[in-house]
Structure formats: structure tokens, C-alpha cells
């Protein structure tokens, strides 16, 4: 095991079998070893800086029916909303005042946000805050659409691959959604020059260690600029309502591995991690993460953007309470910075 950890640290690459072995045979002691190497790597590239992103959840209307997701179209209990351009801009204004220099626009796949509508919003944000980065997380779109949004000024795009195994993908999604198209989107985004983020849920239904090994191999080979990894958490109004949540411990272990595969990657300590454990956010950072994405959505939207049960949105999770987050991070030796926080390429 120690040999394997050293190999990962030195070569940044393992075989599928080795990744699976590393996950299956984990102990607390190995987890601490990986975490300490991961912190060292993050420190070599980014120092003790933690980047913040202001997350704006612009719509929970979605044409998709992903089995795990609380805003899936079949969920009739979900109260739907969509922010107007003015509301989105006023979130940015507030975020800008607090010091955020990245705005992440995330939402369901809502047909209202055509290229025309979304490009107009991106252009306006870039015009008002030229020093800020705009990240989009609006799901699967065409090459032409991603191109138009890039030309409008979008800098980054988050699109988790969710699972790198096609069969597992089909157990989490309805038939019309395929891993092949997700991968097409990720390739398009990369070729258009976006800083691109992929990622997956830990402990999603039917997930095996073999699947996770494939996720790690995919992340190694695709070499994304960012990677979102958080535990699966069930939502009461989805087909997966009785499935158990992913663990804090395995999520942190995987964050450390991803940091060792790609020392330069931007790795968020996710809201889902903070939701399953009161110290989740800090533990993610201590496992090698270097980004947090506090919520900048209007209060009413926050409570309706329920991807999973009990999703956090107050306290240090709220973008308006940056001071709380600063205290939390400084208590573990890290410093929240309000720079743009672009990826440092190798």
C-alpha cells in the first residue's frame, strides 16, 4: 500500500486495478498519509490560499429527469423558480461588493435560457465586472451554444461527468441521457478553450469501487482544470429516496487522490460535504481541496434549489457571510483570498 501511495505521488498515475486496490484497502492511517501528501502538493502550487466563488442558482426548472436529483422534471413537489436578468445582476452586484471575483451561474436545463438570453446575461456581467470570471454550470448544450457563450465572455464551465462507467451512468439517468453525450460536451468545452470542470458523486446508488477507479482514470486522462466531488445525498421526492448517502471519509480520501493525480487542479470542498458533516468543509480542505463556493442566490431561490435533502445554505455556506468562512478557514491554517483564482497550468 505505501509503495502504491508513493507511486501515485511520484508518477501521478496508476492503473485501474491499482486505483481500485487503493480504495478497497484504505485505512485511517493511509488516509492521513494521502491527505498530508495532498496538502503538501496543494501548498506547493497555491500556498495556503483558498479561492471563493459566488454561486448563483439561476433556475430550478429542468427538462431532465436524473434519478438522483431533487429538481428533476418529474418531481411535482418542487416549487419552480427562475431568476430574471435583473435578479442575477443584483446577485453579482452584491457579490462584487463583498469581493467575489468569480460568479458561477448554475441551473437546471431550462429552455428559457437560450443562447440569446444567456449570452446577453454573460456579456452584461463581463461588462460590469471585467475583472471577474464567469463560470457556467448549465448542463449539456451543443458545440455552437458553448462557442457562443465563450464568445460572450464565459471563462469556465462545470459539467460533472457523474460516473465514467456507461452502465452505471444508465442506472442514474433516463435513457435519453448518455455518457457519450456528456463526454462530447466535455471535449467540446475543452476544445473551445474553457477552463473545464468534471466530477462525480461519491456513494451514488449502485456505485462500486471499480466504477470509482474508472472515474479516477478518466480524471487522470482528461486532465480537467477543476473537479467537483461530493457525497450523494438522497432527496425525499426522487426514486432514490431510500438510498443511503455517500460518506465523508471516502469523499475526503478521493479528494486527496485527485490532488495527487493533478497537483494544479482547482478542487472544491463541496456544499454536499458540508451538509453531511458539520466539519465537512474544513475536512475537505485538509484533504487537499482549495476552493469553496458559497451561495449567492436570493434567499427564496436557495430554499427551492433542493438538489438533495437538508442542503446547507446559511452560515459559512452563505456568500454574504464571508467573514464566517474566513474565520473557519483561518482556524485550520488557510487563508480565503478574493482573487480570480484561475487554474495554474503545469
In the complex, least distance from residue 65 CB atom to ligand SAH, rounded to whole angstroms:
12
Which one, of 125, 132, 126, 187, lies nearest residue 159 by Cα?
Answer: 187
3-state secondary structure of 335: strand
Phi, psi (deg, nearest 5) at residue 150: -65, -45
Q: In this complex, which beta carbon is closest to ligand SAH, that of residue 69 or of residue 152?
A: 69
Q: In this complex, which beta carbon is closest to ligand SAH, that of residue 124 or of residue 309?
A: 309
In the complex, least distance from residue 160 CB atom to ligand SAH, rounded to whole angstroms:
4
Binding mask 61-100 for ligand SAH (x = CB under 6 A): -------xx-------------------------------
In the complex, least distance from residue 17 CB atom to ligand SAH, rounded to whole angstroms:
26
Instruction: Give the residue, chosen from 94, 109, 237, 342, that forms a contact with ligand SAH under the rule CB under 6 A.
Output: 109
| C-alpha to C-alpha distance for 312 and 42, rounded to whole angstroms | 26
Q: 116-145 burial by CB neighbour count: b if 16+ within 10 A, else e? A: eebbebbbbbbeebeebbbbbbbbbbeeeb
CA 10 to chain centre: 26
Quickly list DSSP for 219-267: HHHH--SEEEEEE----TTSTTTTSPPPPHHHHHHHHHHHHHH-TT-B-
135 is a contact residue toward ligand SAH (CB under 6 A): no
Inter-residue contact 135 to 153 (CB < 8 Å):
no
Which segment (14-22, 37-45, 101-109, 261-269) binds ligand SAH by CB under 6 A? 101-109
Q: Are strands 195-202 and 156-158 parallel, antiparallel or unpaired?
A: parallel
Inter-residue contact 296 to 103 (CB < 8 Å):
yes
196 is a contact residue toward ligand SAH (CB under 6 A): no
Residues in 240-279 that interact with ligand SAH by CB under 6 A: 272
Number of chain positions touching ligand SAH (CB under 6 A): 18
Binding mask 206-235 for ligand SAH (x = CB under 6 A): ------------------------x-xx-x
162 is a contact residue toward ligand SAH (CB under 6 A): yes
Q: In this complex, which beta carbon is closest to ligand SAH, that of residue 137 or of residue 282?
A: 137
308 is a contact residue toward ligand SAH (CB under 6 A): yes
Which segment (102-110, 114-122, 126-134, 208-216) binds ligand SAH by CB under 6 A? 102-110
In the complex, least distance from residue 335 CB atom to ligand SAH, rounded to whole angstroms:
27
| C-alpha to C-alpha distance for 339 and 219, rounded to whole angstroms | 26
| C-alpha to C-alpha distance for 185 and 189, rounded to whole angstroms | 6
| C-alpha to C-alpha distance for 229 and 295, rounded to whole angstroms | 17
| C-alpha to C-alpha distance for 213 and 219, rounded to whole angstroms | 10
Q: In this complex, which beta carbon is closest to ligand SAH, that of residue 152 or of residue 233?
A: 233
In the complex, least distance from residue 26 CB atom to ligand SAH, rounded to whole angstroms:
21
In the complex, least distance from residue 290 CB atom to ligand SAH, rounded to whole angstroms:
19
Inter-residue contact 227 to 254 (CB < 8 Å):
no
Which one, of 50, 119, 87, lies nearest residue 326 by Cα?
Answer: 50
Q: In this complex, which beta carbon is closest to ligand SAH, that of residue 46 or of residue 232?
A: 232
Interaction site with ligand SAH (CB under 6 A): 68-69, 106, 108-109, 137, 139, 159-160, 162, 201, 230, 232-233, 235, 272, 307-308
Amino acid at each position: 500500500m505505501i509503495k502504491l501511495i508513493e507511486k501515485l505521488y511520484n508518477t501521478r498515475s496508476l492503473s485501474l486495478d491499482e486505483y481500485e486496490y487503493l480504495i478497497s484497502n484504505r485505512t485511517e492511517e493511509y488516509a492521513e498519509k494521502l491527505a498530508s501528501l495532498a496538502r503538501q502538493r496543494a501548498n506547493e502550487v497555491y500556498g495556503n490560499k483558498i479561492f471563493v466563488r459566488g454561486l448563483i442558482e439561476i433556475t430550478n426548472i429542468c427538462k431532465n429527469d436524473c434519478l438522483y436529483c431533487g429538481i428533476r422534471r418529474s418531481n411535482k413537489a418542487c416549487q419552480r423558480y427562475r431568476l430574471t436578468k435583473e435578479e442575477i445582476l443584483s446577485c453579482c452586484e452584491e457579490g462584487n461588493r463583498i469581493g467575489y471575483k468569480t460568479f458561477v451561474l448554475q441551473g437546471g436545463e431550462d429552455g428559457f435560457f437560450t443562447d440569446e438570453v444567456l449570452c446577453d446575461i454573460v456579456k452584461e456581467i463581463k461588462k460590469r465586472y471585467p475583472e471577474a470570471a464567469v463560470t457556467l454550470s448549465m448542463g449539456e448544450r451543443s458545440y455552437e451554444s458553448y462557442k457562443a457563450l465563450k464568445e460572450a465572455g464565459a471563462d469556465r464551465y462545470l459539467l460533472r461527468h457523474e460516473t465514467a462507467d456507461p452502465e452505471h451512468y444508465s442506472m442514474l439517468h433516463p435513457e435519453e441521457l448518455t455518457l457519450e453525450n456528456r463526454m462530447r460536451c466535455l471535449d467540446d468545452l475543452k476544445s473551445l478553450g474553457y477552463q473545464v470542470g468534471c466530477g462525480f458523486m461519491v456513494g451514488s446508488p449502485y456505485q462500486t469501487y471499480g466504477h470509482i477507479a474508472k472515474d479516477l482514470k478518466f480524471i487522470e486522462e482528461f486532465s480537467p482544470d477543476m473537479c467537483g466531488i461530493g457525497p450523494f445525498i438522497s432527496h425525499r421526492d426522487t426514486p432514490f429516496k431510500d438510498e443511503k448517502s455517500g460518506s465523508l471519509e471516502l469523499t475526503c480520501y478521493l479528494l486527496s487522490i485527485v490532488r495527487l493525480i493533478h497537483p494544479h487542479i482547482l478542487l472544491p470542498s463541496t456544499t454536499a460535504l458540508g451538509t453531511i458533516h458539520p466539519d465537512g468543509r474544513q475536512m475537505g480542505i485538509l484533504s487537499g481541496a482549495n476552493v469553496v463556493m458559497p451561495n449567492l442566490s436570493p434567499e427564496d431561490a436557495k430554499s427551492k434549489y433542493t438538489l438533495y435533502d437538508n442542503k446547507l445554505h446559511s452560515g459559512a455556506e452563505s456568500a454574504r457571510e464571508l467573514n464566517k468562512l474566513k474565520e473557519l478557514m483561518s482556524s485550520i491554517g488557510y487563508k480565503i483570498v478574493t482573487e480570480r483564482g484561475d487554474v495554474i497550468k503545469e
